[in-house]
Amino acid sequence: MSILKNDRFLKALARQPVDATPIWVMRQAGRYLPEYRATRAKAGSFLNLCKNPELACEVTLQPIDRFELDAAIIFSDILTVPDAMGLGLYFSEGEGPRFERPVRTEDDVNRLFVPDAEDSLGYVMDAIRVTRKAIAGRVPLIGFSGSPWTLATYMVEGGSSKNYSIVKAMMFDRPDLMHKLLDVTARAVIDYLNAQIAAGAQAIQIFDTWGGELSPRDYREFSLKYMDQIVRGLKCENEGRAVPVILFTKRGGQCLEHIADTGCDALGLDWTTDLAAARERVGERVALQGNMDPALLYASNERIRQEVKDILGVYAGEPGHVFNLGHGIHPEVDPEKMKVLVDAVHEFSAA
Amino acid sequence: MSILKNDRFLKALARQPVDATPIWVMRQAGRYLPEYRATRAKAGSFLNLCKNPELACEVTLQPIDRFELDAAIIFSDILTVPDAMGLGLYFSEGEGPRFERPVRTEDDVNRLFVPDAEDSLGYVMDAIRVTRKAIAGRVPLIGFSGSPWTLATYMVEGGSSKNYSIVKAMMFDRPDLMHKLLDVTARAVIDYLNAQIAAGAQAIQIFDTWGGELSPRDYREFSLKYMDQIVRGLKCENEGRAVPVILFTKRGGQCLEHIADTGCDALGLDWTTDLAAARERVGERVALQGNMDPALLYASNERIRQEVKDILGVYAGEPGHVFNLGHGIHPEVDPEKMKVLVDAVHEFSAA
């Protein structure tokens, strides 16, 4: 493996001093980039793009080639895991992701199994291997998964949901069944992420997109508990270097102390939590990643630069901060705004 | 005016002892009720229903007739205010509310004015007067408005929004313009709510549905500031009795202390904030209203009753709690579940 030339991101996650604050952006390989849309068109479908290691590598590197980002994140989808568990993932135009066989009954839950990651999700590991070669040590490569609760919402609802009525009814009325579903999903995620690490992922992020839809009590019991299980189940080292884990619960700002208790290395923050307050609450225990409002990228360059300065001011050069948006970059954003953002983070934090 | 026979709700808001915890439910007059759907069909359109005082009164009373609720809330829509400000509200099938003339430019903002409430929103005041007569003192009647920021999102975007890109771009790049828009809207809301109080509203709730989409800093500057202005601008007494004000910011759990600082009487809480923690943080200063996850109404009767018991346990008979869902009741809910909820609140809190 090539020597890592830029390890700011890994150092910041370990709360070690860096020459400038590292930045990567959720969904940095995505629809706001014309070159992404071209590769996506070439692939024919979103799932083809995920399942073709060469094309997945291509889109993973596009934002790295265009901007001075400090980390890449492997291009994939969180729903590949339930797909490998036999649920039949497909995408219907305008409706988003759907499962052919949603999990609704006790029998459905009992049929779930931990898939062999290299076998049924080998295309992700192949994409990681191809990308690690192509990236040639320029920046570290992040692997990822959805949280078990977040995956469960899609598995039970059969797709995206507005009110989470089916999955929450199962959670409220059959907590035993829900725990069984979450446990097998957590074990599948552990195997999957360890295979990603073995294939070359140098850091891991868990996306808990829908944990914030739960009450704090239910969040701890049905979402955080299984992220905790994952943190404890992951290989923490590879290629002689620690593999840090970032937990990102969207809308999880009221539960930061509990998230930090898992022993993860960093918390991802959305923009609805004050970074300075979060640092005060948990910043001695973990690094923090975030948390600019993605809508700032609709503002003027000067306003973006001002915001970057304000956010960087919270750490003021002290270690433990990875810059990111508080949520994925919106598809309508002008890529030039991304350049303004990335350059401002480096310029102001190096100064 | 008839003597108020059930004043539990007003007493709880004043943090006075009550014989049982009062309950009302956001959107209690709504689509989950077959009798609502019948009146709505008779009205021809949602806007006709809002603008016809007799029909608005009819649907306002439907949940009061069916369940032992402790308050009624006048049936209306938050977007009647910008409509009266000249923006041209209409509803397009499947798309929700839209404005014919969204506010996008400096000229658009300068054209905004404070409408004469009795003149252009007289149908709401008529609905309140008709309803107060019909309700004959059984329970108090709540008046309401959207918060200026929440109204602004619709006024600028022209309807519902996913990313708030247009309104946030204005906020970030032209804070002066946004403040001007919010100030005239706040003054319109003050006039509107004072007219509601004069017409007979016995308590006021401000719905800040989208304040939680802002960072805490932006929330304080662009949403809370104008709710504060409203609280200070309202008549606090009518018919010899205090008219309490409830501020409900959905997803506002991280800013409760600041919301309580306005001097409002109560905070509405969604279910993503822990009620006991909220009580500890601000419960000596304000009453708290909430906060059961609306999805509990998809669960079994026993599970609903258990949840009610758990939530009531936080106050354990001490004053200052109004029971409510953490958000509007979902349209798909079986009305029988609402009965289970309401009866459980009274049964367990009276015991």
Convert the pLDDT of each residue in B184-241 to its tens digit. Answer: 999 999 999 999 999 999 999 999 999 999 999 999 999 999 999 999 999 989 989 9
- Looking at beta carbons, which residues of chain B come within 8 Å of A297? none
CB B214 within 8 A of CB B222: yes
Nearest in space to A270 (alpha carbons), one of B214, B169, B326: B214
- Chain mean position to CA A221: 21
How far is residue A109 from each of residues A101, A188, A230, A231, measured CA to CA in Å? 11, 14, 20, 24
Interface test with B, best of A298, A303, A310, A314 (most B CBs within 10 A): A298
Query: Average model confidence (pLDDT) for chain B?
Result: 97
Helix or strand holding residue B56 (H, E): helix B53-66
Res. B291: pLDDT tops 70: yes
CA distance A27 to A135: 18
Task: Note the residue count of chain A.
Answer: 351
Res. B95: pLDDT tops 80: no
Looking at B154, B219, B226, B315, which residue is catalytic? B154
Query: Residue A60: what pLDDT?
Result: 98
Query: Residue B177: what pLDDT?
Result: 98
Q: Extract the tokens encoding B311.
A: 């939530």
Percent of chain A with pLDDT over 90: 95
Query: Residue B136: what pLDDT?
Result: 97
Q: Would an 8 Å CB–CB cutoff place B295 in contact with chain A? A: yes
Mean pLDDT by 10 residues, chain A (351 residues): 91 97 98 98 94 98 98 97 96 87 98 96 98 98 98 97 96 98 98 98 98 98 98 93 97 97 98 98 96 98 98 95 98 98 97 76
Res. B2: pLDDT tops 90: no
Q: Extract the tokens encoding B154.
A: 């619709």
Rounded to 5°, angle at Cα B218 from A67 and B109: 100
- For residue A291, is the peptide bond before it cis, meaning its omega torsion is within 30 degrees of 0? yes
Q: What is the pLDDT of residues A31-77, one digit of tens each?
A: 999 999 999 999 999 999 999 999 999 999 999 999 999 999 999 99
Q: Extract the tokens encoding B224.
A: 């809370």
CB A207 within 8 A of CB A146: yes
Task: Look up B154 and say whether it is catalytic.
Answer: yes
Exposure letters A62-72 (e unless 16+ CB within 10 A, then b): bbbeebebbbb
Exposure letters B312-347 (e unless 16+ CB within 10 A, then b): bebbeeeebbbbbbbbbbbeebebebbebbbbbbbe
Query: Residue B321: what pLDDT?
Result: 98
Percent of chain B with pLDDT over 70: 100
CB B281 within 8 A of CB B337: no
- Other C-beta atoms lying within 10 Å of the C-beta of residue B40: 18
Rounded to 5°, angle at Cα B129 from B127 and B133: 115
Helix/strand/coil for B260: helix
CB A203 within 8 A of CB A143: yes
Query: Residue B210: what pLDDT?
Result: 98
Query: Residue A216: what pLDDT?
Result: 98
Interface test with B, best of A293, A306, A341 (most B CBs within 10 A): A293
Q: Mean of the pLDDT values across residues B56-71?
A: 98
Q: Would an 8 Å CB–CB cutoff place A40 in contact with chain B? A: no
Task: Enumerate the H helices of chain A as residue ranges.
Answer: 8-13, 34-43, 46-51, 53-66, 80-82, 106-111, 117-120, 122-135, 148-157, 165-173, 175-199, 216-218, 225-233, 256-260, 275-282, 301-315, 335-350
In this prediction the ipTM stands at 0.96
Looking at A8, A40, A279, A305, which residue is catalytic? A40
Q: Mean of the pLDDT values across residues B22-33?
A: 98
Which architecture does CATH list for B8-350?
A: Alpha-Beta Barrel (3.20)
Lowest mean pLDDT among A13-27, A213-227, B81-95, B162-176: B81-95
Tally C-beta pairs within 8 A across A and B. 99
CA distance A104 to A87: 12
Task: Look up A27 and say whether it is catalytic.
Answer: yes
Task: Look up B65 and say whether it is catalytic.
Answer: no
Q: Return the HEC string of B61-113.
A: HHHHHHCCCCCEECCCCCCHHHHHHHHCEEEECCCEEEECCCCCCHHHHHHCC
Q: Extract the tokens encoding B237.
A: 């007494």
Residues 242-261 of B with CB under 8 A from A: 251, 253-254
Query: Residue A1: what pLDDT?
Result: 64
